Chain A
Amino acid sequence: EIVMTQSPATLSVSSGERATLSCRASQTVSMNLAWYQQKPGQAPRLLIFSASTRATGIPARFSGGGSGTEFTLTISSLQSEDFAVYYCQQYYNWPRTFGQGTKVEIK
């Protein structure tokens, strides 16, 4: 099983600032990496797939990077609606696995 490790667990950021979230895979997942956003009481929403491709309707302030085992999600200028929990997920191998999540909170 590929273990996905996200850091930090919590990120305190002010509105308008840049946020960088990290995700590490225990073995290569090539570019088969997705990022999801989840707000309280809501289902997850796909932000990024193939490590760096924004899903339909996702604002350009969200960008993904990396390949192999190291990945990042960057939010260039945090808006109030971006405070949420973010998960990475690999879909390179079975079982599909998620990171434990990074909570982005208001500083």
Chain B
Amino acid sequence: EVQLVESGGGLVQPGGSLRLSCAASGFNFPNYDMNWVRQAPGKGLEWISYLRNDGNSLYYADSVRGRFTITRDNSKNTLYLQMNSLRVEDTAVYYCARSWRAFDVWGQGTMVTVSS
């Protein structure tokens, strides 16, 4: 079964850091580009980051550039999102999503709450 499983979410104070993980299974992870997408409570979807399959091309949304870093370990079939200098407005469910034409496979999401 093709699957993505996110982990690492939780409650963090403003200015703090978290690292999210996305474990892939059921497909050849090194062949696929990957993304992070987030959804604030009661709001729509916001794409925040992309990483090419070989790790040599990446993009960020303006809202997270300079604070978040996307990486991957193809030997572990895992995508990461290092989030630093977190703000209250970063509170959201964070999804990883596989790129194939569009975003064809999504994880179940992990909740990040930034609050004092």
B106 in contact with A96 (CB, 8 Å)? no
Closest chain B residue to A46 by CB distance? B104
**Least Cβ–Cβ distance between B35 and chain A, in angstroms:** 7
**Least Cβ–Cβ distance between A78 and chain B, in angstroms:** 22
- Most A-side CB within 10 Å, residue of B45, B95, B102, B104: B102
Closest chain B residue to A99 by CB distance? B44
Q: Which of B44, B62, B105 contacts A87 (CB 8 A)?
A: B44
B45 in contact with A34 (CB, 8 Å)? no
**Least Cβ–Cβ distance between A47 and chain B, in angstroms:** 9
Say whether chain B's binding surface is mostly helix, strand, loop, or mixed: strand
Residues of B within 8 A of A55 (CB): 104
Interface residue range, chain B: 20 to 34
Residues of B within 8 A of A97 (CB): 47
Give Cα A68 to B47, complex, Å: 21
Q: Which of A46, A53, A94, A99 contacts B103 (CB 8 A)?
A: A46
Residues of A within 8 A of B101 (CB): 34, 49-50, 53, 91
Interface residue range, chain A: 20 to 34
**Least Cβ–Cβ distance between A96 and chain B, in angstroms:** 4
Residues of A within 8 A of B102 (CB): 34, 46, 49, 89, 91
Give Cα A48 to B73, complex, Å: 30
A43 in contact with B109 (CB, 8 Å)? yes
Chain B stretch 91-114: residues in CB contact (< 8 A) with chain A? 95, 99, 101-109
14 contacts between A and B (CB under 8 A): A34-B102, A34-B103, A43-B107, A44-B45, A44-B106, A49-B102, A49-B104, A89-B45, A91-B101, A94-B50, A94-B59, A95-B59, A98-B44, A98-B46
| A residues whose Cβ falls under 8 Å from a Cβ of B | 34, 36, 38, 42-46, 49-50, 53, 55, 87, 89, 91, 94-101
- Knowing that A44-B95, A46-B104, A99-B44 touch, tell me 17 more A-B residue pairs with CB under 8 angstroms: A34-B101, A43-B106, A43-B109, A44-B103, A44-B106, A49-B102, A49-B104, A87-B45, A89-B45, A91-B99, A94-B50, A95-B59, A95-B62, A97-B47, A98-B44, A100-B44, A101-B45
